[in-house]
A and B are shown apart, each in its own frame.
Chain A
Amino acid sequence: MSQPTLPHTQAEIGRPRRRIVGVQKVTGQATYAAEYTPDDLLYGYVVNATITRGTITGIDERAAREIEGVVEIIHHLRRPKLGYFDMQYSDIDAPPGSPFRPFYDAEIQFAEQPIALVVAETFEAARYAASLVEVTYDKAPFDVDLHKNLDTARKPKKGIDSILKPMPPDDYGDFDGAYAAASATYEGEVYHRSQHHNPLEMHATITVYEADGKLTIYDKTQGTTNSQIYISGVFGMKMSDVRVIAPFVGGGFGSGLRPQYQLVMSVMAALHLQRNVCVQLDREQMYTFGHRPETLQRLRFGASADGKLTAVSHEAFAETSRFEDYHEAVVNHAGMLYPVENVHLEYKLVPLDRYSPLDMRAPGGLTGVLAVETVMDQLADQLGMDPLAFRLKNYTTTDVSSGKPYSSKELRACYEQAAERFGWDQRKPTGKHPQRGNRLVGHGMASGIWDAIMLPAKATARLTTEGKLLIQCALNDCGQGAYTVMSQIAADELGLPFEDVTFEYADSKLDASPVQGGSFTTGVVGSAVKAACFALKDKIFHLAQILDGFPLGDALLPDVTFTGGEIVLNADPSVRIPFTDIIAFNKGKALEVSKTNVPNPFKIKKYARNSHAASFVEVEVDAQLGVVYVTRAVTAVAAGRIMNPQTARSQILGGMVWGIGMALREETLLDRQLGKFMNTNLAEYHIPVHADIGELDVIFVEEKDEIINDLGVKGLGEVGTISMAPAIANAIFNATGKVMTQFPVKLGDL
């Protein structure tokens, strides 16, 4: 029987929608962590060490304490009791090792280490008094130089983070033999310095000390649950006594994946004083914690005369601290992108007297693929092949490094659609593009790949007494649009208009959420929302089945449609049961279901699961002055189902801008003698500005994935960043014939 009379609701999934919090954000109504106004708020200002390694021998507080409004000065000699075991300091994104413990003892382990907190009635008094705290030290020698310490490189220790950031596979095939036999070979290095996240909102925490001694914490974080776990661990508190709230995050990029030191200090001061305390970092202090690690890569690739990649050696040396083994998947990607049979991979850490690095947008992938994809162009050049043709020649639907087929892979369509939109057929061999005035022209392309990660997550769905839907999860969002997308998923599952769905989020008292990172939020939390909504639907239907008079007869769930706030019998659309009838039947009480979605390991483990992208870039390079302009770029993305094309496009545009930053702008300058970063402000740390951005175009390639999760979603946050930087480098090579090995490429390098 046809169903022409069924009420039609437009599907929310796939519909462009602006962020539900967008207006609040752009009109200044959004409240960020430092902007809450609890009563009698005190302000803490952090004092940072002025040496790079050594021991504190004395802290003279006298001058600082004379400042009017100063309430207390907290440091390792005056603080609440802190946890003893490393476990207590391990947040859910902690790498293996012994996490840094603020104010634990007198030891200085890195430059700008926080060593004291001045708490005062006003921020200004705290800041001024902080400048008067006199600290004396026993200095110890230190070493922050990656290049000089390559001989100390060692493999990282394994931890639970290896689940998200797998160690490279063991060598396979015979690299040495294949490399020696290859018709075309390339050997080279790729290097980049450390980089910092630079979110617009600086890290801040307000801790409210409640009357019963419990804590309500407004934190800048990418995971309310993570901050809650961390604080309860560090201070030995019950999880239920610690509540973390973070509905608005002014940019994260990974900087909020781990609890930062302002959080622990705010809590420390609140517990010590039994008062409400705000601690906000200043812009310079934003350069005193995690960052993308400085990394040196050595690559040797070999190919046969007919353009088959036959040998890959990819080695990487990355900085880490002395106390944690922060690591990334840097060298894994060549073997995933291309079906090469002879592979040698090595990833090593060089422990230095610096703070631990931290995930920063597309961690590892951006670093590694930049190297792989620029080397691929060098091989293509030697073989006299078009770079795209070379990649298509080495196309694979199986991840040869793991031997598993991809759950889905539409990279070929990315190549084809982006190449057509870009006009790749107009590309000329290196140095052969006609000049535009003083400028050389170059076209470059590159592939991108990122893991589609699945984790368990929990969400609650409630049919309210008004017959509307409330979704709850502790998830918080840095601005990508997760709140909007979660609401869209829920609306479709229950057949409700978008306006009838409310999403309650960003509060650790709600169902625990993973951090928002790794491009997995939509897939992971979205699946939990979908599962919770499905369970709620089931519950609603069971009540509908036993309504007075049994209006649905013996119909089962597949025999009805949930639409417009009603259950409609497919066989007879005149039979409609409004959700409000169900609530009435339930004695006016709301219906609620919590559901944990656990990915099916037996199903997904058989497949390699990745999102893919391809970027095509045109650059102009001033022939005499070496100035580079990214005039236009097209990125095509295959990341499964696109839930909201509007927010999705914004994510990819942001990723492309990050790619420009990686290729041409961003680096934090570490002084080897002083052991500290020097360009610690937004004037001298160059993130791209509008004038740096040419015309950007985004294509979403249709990709159906029935393996990864019920939504068919793979995630977008990282993959759009990855292909852009190498495509720029390759375009510069095409324009100038110069191979880029140091990033960012700067004025004077060409």
Chain B
Amino acid sequence: MKFTRDWLFSHLDADRPLADILDVLPMLGLEIESVVDRAAALTPFVIAEVISAEQHPNADKLRVCMVNIGAGDPVQVVCGAPNARAGMKGVFAPVGAYVPGIDLTLKTGEIRGELSNGMLCSEREMQLSDEHDGIIDLAADAPVGASFAAYAGLDDPIIEIAITPNRADCLGVRGVARDLAAAGYGQLKPIDASPLEGSFDSPITWDLNLAPDEVHLCPLVSGRAFTGLKNGSSPAWMANRLTAIGQRPISALVDITNYVMVDLGRPLHAYDIDKIDGGKLIIGRAKPGQTMTALNEKTYDLDEDMLVIGDANGPDDLAGIMGGERSGVSDATDKMFLEIAIFDQIAVATTGRKLNIHSDARFRFERGLDVTSPEWASGYVARLVMDICGGQTSHMVIAGDGADWKREIFLASDKVERLTGMIVPKARQTEILENLGFTVREETAGLQVSPPPWRGDIDGAADLVEEISRIHGFDHLPMVHLPREHVVAQPAVNVAQARPLRLRRAMAERGLTEAVTFSFLAEKEAVMFGGGDASLRLVNPISADLSIMRPSALPNLLSAAARNQDRGEAEIAMFEVGPVFLGDEPDQQRTAMAAIRHGAMAPREWHGSRRSVDVFDAKADAEAALAVLGVRRGSLQIESGGPDYFHPGRCGRLLQGRSLLAQFGELHPQVAAHFGLRNTLVGFELFLEDVPLAKSRGPARSYLKMSPFQPVSRDFAFILDNDVPASQLLRAVKSAAGPLVSDIQLFDVYQGKNIDDGQKSLAVNITLTPQKATLSEAEIEVISDAVIAAAGKNCGAVLRG
């Protein structure tokens, strides 16, 4: 919402300077977006008279002008404008002035041997317009020596404020003035909104073609015919204000409708009576198949949900949104019919959204207008029209019973204090509300308050409290610390919510950097990672790359890795903890923990420890994550295999009993290629919901009994078939070694010389920790024999000779 200072002051008899008003507007809820003072840059520019303009002795296209600048001696200026002539009034920029259009600070100069002390300016040089055919040619009565900015009405700062959706009343300058007056910044000036008797009957009448249950779509509409109009240019004050807020003056009648929309927040529509067929304007639903060309020269397909106004030739006004091209006013219009209507906010919003039309009228209609305005604004606007365009007006024609806007809201005496903690005396509450246009009746227990017809947003007592407290001032709100419920603060996160926090730290400790990537991705990548469900496809995505909810956090990590690779990162290790979506129901959203590693584990270095990542790095990351989640390594089973996006021979699942906890692997080469990743690429993913919360046994640990006896360690090398998984051998060894086993390590894997094809050698170290007495050789022998036997029986393994 834009207006100028003088425009505001045309409604507000302000007793404070603009600076104070700019300070208070945000504190009333009217946030300032910008304040532009066009005159500031034009201060040195004055009105001057060209006394003489002689041909330059050394240049055909230049003239040497003597210029009266209102003070001191005339000044000599060399000027190249074709229209420079003796007797004309123009705009003069003296030496030292900064000329914005040419980005230059003027200096005394000599042009082809003639002294030049300043400049006569074009509009473009002053950045007023693109006009540069000549210097500005002012009216003969322009006062020489006066400030050009003041003369041109540019010394009127433009103020733009943001209006929240509830404050439809402030979509007119008068509404802003009313708020300021209520806050004690001046008096609201009266306007003449008295009825205006016309001099003839309107040739156009209303036909409200609405079913009884639909009268709310247009509860009230007024109209007035005008004849004998002269539709020339609007007066300078109006044209200047419209220009200031970015609207191009068109003709007096169009400008009046635009002006009143901003001035009072009251959109109007003007028809050319000669273009209305049948003497009747019909308000009703459009018929399917009808079309209409609006004032923006676009043609729209209408349907029966849309409220339109039309004549015998069909619809030519999208009610509350935009008028039609066919019946609108033109420069030649001398007979006008002016519509002032109330339309249903939702109907306007729905049609506007369907047709994708964003107009100033729609913006105001869908936020709600003063529902009584068709009556009171009729006289006001008619006077304005006839002041500017002459002519006569008809009696008002009106249709509709009006909206039911009167309501009483009870404001209990203690309500303001109860809701805000702020004490505002009852008399002050009444005063504030009355200044805002509310009607207030005092009762013992509180106030009975009726909102004015322009405050459709006031819904209940809380709204009244807001009105009182914002005018009284939020600065008066007390600052009260929240009372402490516990002397020592309680945890803010529960056990489940603490898990992502701990996981993040654990992953970062392992050298993985945290990423936060989008929850959506390209459909192709969703499908690649097991997703692509139609219910998760966005109807209105930002782009095809961000069009469907992700089934996994891996693909976006891979995209991120590729970006980093392309920036020259050779070792990439990243993780993300975030949501993934298996469906659109709340319980189908999971929290994924995913990590990837690409390239080498460490940068190039001289120690020789650098190596490529491999699937066991991903497995270790997965096991570490599970350990953080309370899953003991010993309780995990491992299974080879996994989803398609992994290398089929280099991936696995970590399970506890039958439940899958995590999947890890080397990414499939085709997946790596899709993302453009060139080196070995591994990763893992788990969903936190799959990992059961560890049962809480309280903070105390179980009693630790430490053995005083020397542990013994034995090595075994087994030869077994290649396709027997190592985990099977370890399981067999562990169970055969019995309760004294405190540690098992697989410390060597060998294939090659001395081992048959299809076989491998696995070397295992077991540590036995006796609890009752040092183990004798014989006892150790028994355990060793059992281990060897079990390896043979369960895995077909034989002890390597």
A interacts with B: no
B residues with a Cβ closer than 8 A to A are none
